[in-house]
Amino acid sequence: MVTAQRKIPIAAPLTGQEEWEALKEPVFSGWLTQGPKVAEFERLFAERHGVKHAIAVSNCTAALHLALLAIGVREGDEVIVPAFTWVATANSVLYCNATLVFADIDISTFNINPDEIAKKITKKTKAIIPVHLFGLCADIEAIKKIAPGIPIVEDGACAAGAALNNKPAGSLGDIGCFSFHPRKSITTGEGGMITTNNDKYADTINKLRNHGASISEESRHHGPKPYILPAFDMVGYNYRMTDLQGAVGIVQLKKLDRFIEERQKFAEIYTGELPSVPWLSVPSVPSGYRHGWQSYVCMVDETKSPKSRNEIMEFLEQKGISTRPGTHAVHMLGYYAGKYKLKPLDFPNSFKANEYSIALPLHNNMVHEDFKHVAQSLIKLV
């Protein structure tokens, strides 16, 4: 019997017997690194997200790095990213020795504000990385109008299955990057995926993830002339996904739409209960968007609340409810604040999101009583 007193984690992957059974084939076949299961996962992911190419990699950070390299980002170039995002978005730019340019967010969506992007574009702008934060797509159409011709790399780490105007995340810009970390809607443990309709980008990324080799390991080992090694005409990386991960990914991907539908219903429970908490702003979904609901992130108004955001999080922890800040404002992190001489209020909305956002538990292992317990615990603070 599930009780309200059980510990409710902020996130938890939903895996079980099917994933366990899927691991047997690569384990017994002996093909454990990138191979047929990864290829099948890529094909299914491309079909689901409406793109020609899906290229599996070791994680979303690697995906972002390879996406920027494929575009040709290098030293002297500038890349615009939101100031409020996970640090990996920013790190990927520095991996290319490029210059990071922050832009502020729209506090109502937590996504990069296209008007702020317009202020940051220069002749050196080589790419823009909008983040589909928490599963809500950034306004890619508005960004395209503001920055015509500038490549767009979607950081869709949180957004598998999300959509804007019926176009899936990962098909909206030039390249899309996804994460399969356990906090995401579907997981392979670690893992990532790159999507694109650009044949040249796909070919470059495919080589870069495998040390720069001209052919894949699978093709080389199954070819008629095993004594011929691949050509290496570029410096590449070992960013491959394993077939163990690919096998789990295939099973998880087939559950993606069901997972999102469940999360939508769970989000509706919160949204129905929490308006009675006057100091808490619940997330909104603009018309035309399909939210992926990787996280349910609210804002605390400390001028009205009985406690600070952090005290509220401590109170909920005592009730067995795990919470987190939405994410962090990267421009406030020590390395980036020092490197670019930035102050917290240089990006006021990102600062507010950093200080006052709160992610409530939302995952497919939760049941109705869990959501009621979270909501009622917040209501008790009113």
Active site (annotated) includes residue 184: yes
User: What are the CA-CA distances from residue 27 to residues 30, 168, 244, 294 (Å)?
Assistant: 5, 33, 8, 30
Distance CA 64, CA 323 (A): 27
First to last CA, the chain: 29
Distance CA 277, CA 271 (A): 11
Q: Which of 37, 124, 167, 184 is catalytic?
A: 184
Residue given tokens 């299914």 in the structure block = 44
Structure-block tokens of residue 195:
């999507």
**Which has the closest alpha carbon to 269: 357, 360, 134?**
360
Q: Where are the beta strands (DSSP E) in the chain?
A: 53-57, 78-82, 99-103, 105-106, 111-112, 125-128, 153-155, 163-164, 167-168, 175-179, 192-196, 280-281, 289-290, 296-300, 357-360
Residue given tokens 């780490």 in the structure block = 157
* 167 bridge partner residues: 164
Residue given tokens 């992007």 in the structure block = 117
The H or E element spanning position 372 is helix 368-379
The values of phi and psi at residue 361, to 5°, are -55, 135
Structure-block tokens of residue 359:
């992610």
Distance CA 285, CA 157 (A): 18
The set of residues, in sequence order, having a beta carbon less than 8 Å from that of 286 and lying 6+ positions away, is 109
Contact call for residues 117 and 146 (beta carbons, < 8 A): yes
Any idea which residues carry the catalytic annotation?
184
